[in-house]
């Protein structure tokens, strides 16, 4: 009796995922001995979506589809990369964040994707979006309201002349109440202006009143 050995099949979804996603390295389909193990930034890893720069690769692929580009030649030549250099970025052997640190390549990507350079740097993982945020304390926000009151011709007469002496010394609840009232009045004025602007064309289309000749 001849015994046949049954080869272990790949887990379900493994092959389909590698075909659908262009960023999964070809090493994912190789035996461990040939693949040489997962690289630090390899998109063949299970957590490839969390790899820095994945968002930028996605944006490049979407732009290629929108432009009808079937190859990477335009992107590769625009970035000044060799075939092997671009492939290393795709499979994760080379960190894509290096493209966001070089002015020429960063500028080309910004023009290609029609995005500001800072957006390219964030998508590449070269910088965090938190670096663009400025934390403003509650007291500072309330001082902005006091400044707005002083510049508003309607409210200027009620605004504090000396913010430190007249505004900062007020209880916090009073300053927050003044801010809430001022913001509500500003919103009401804005809504009224929008209503007037939308009603103006309808009045123009109406019939002109009859004027008797004198």
Q: Which DSSP category does 11 fall into?
A: P
Nearest to 59 by CA among 127, 132, 116: 116
Q: Residues in the chain, how many? A: 214
C-alpha distances in Å from residue 12, one per residue of 9, 55, 61, 116: 9, 26, 26, 41
- Residue pLDDT, tens place only, 145-171: 999 999 988 888 888 888 888 898 999
Q: What is the CA radius of gyration of the chain?
A: 31
pLDDT in tens, 57-113: 889 989 999 989 888 999 999 999 999 988 888 887 888 888 888 889 999 999 999
**How far is 16 from 185, CA to CA, in rounded Å?**
58
């Amino acid at each position: 009796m001849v015994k046949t050995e049954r080869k272990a099949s790949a887990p379900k979804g493994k092959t389909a995922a590698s075909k659908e996603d262009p960023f999964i390295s070809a090493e994912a389909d190789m035996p461990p001995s040939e693949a040489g193990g997962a690289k630090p930034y390899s998109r063949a890893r299970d957590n490839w979506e969390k790899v820095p720069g994945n968002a930028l690769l996605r944006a490049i692929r979407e732009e290629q589809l929108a432009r009808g580009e079937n190859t990477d030649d335009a992107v590769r030549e625009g970035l000044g990369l060799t075939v092997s250099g671009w492939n290393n970025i795709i499979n994760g052997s080379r960190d894509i964040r290096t493209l966001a640190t070089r002015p020429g390549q960063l500028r080309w990507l910004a023009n290609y994707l029609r995005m500001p350079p800072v957006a390219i740097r964030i998508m590449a993982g070269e910088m965090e979006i938190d670096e663009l945020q400025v934390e403003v304390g509650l007291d500072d926000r309330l001082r902005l309201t006091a400044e707005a009151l002083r510049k508003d011709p309607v409210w200027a007469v009620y605004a504090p002349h000396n913010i430190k002496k007249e505004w900062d010394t007020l209880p916090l609840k009073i300053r927050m109440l003044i801010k809430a009232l001022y913001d509500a009045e500003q919103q009401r004025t804005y809504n009224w202006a929008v209503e007037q602007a939308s009603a103006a064309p309808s009045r123009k289309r109406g019939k002109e009143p009859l004027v008797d000749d004198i």
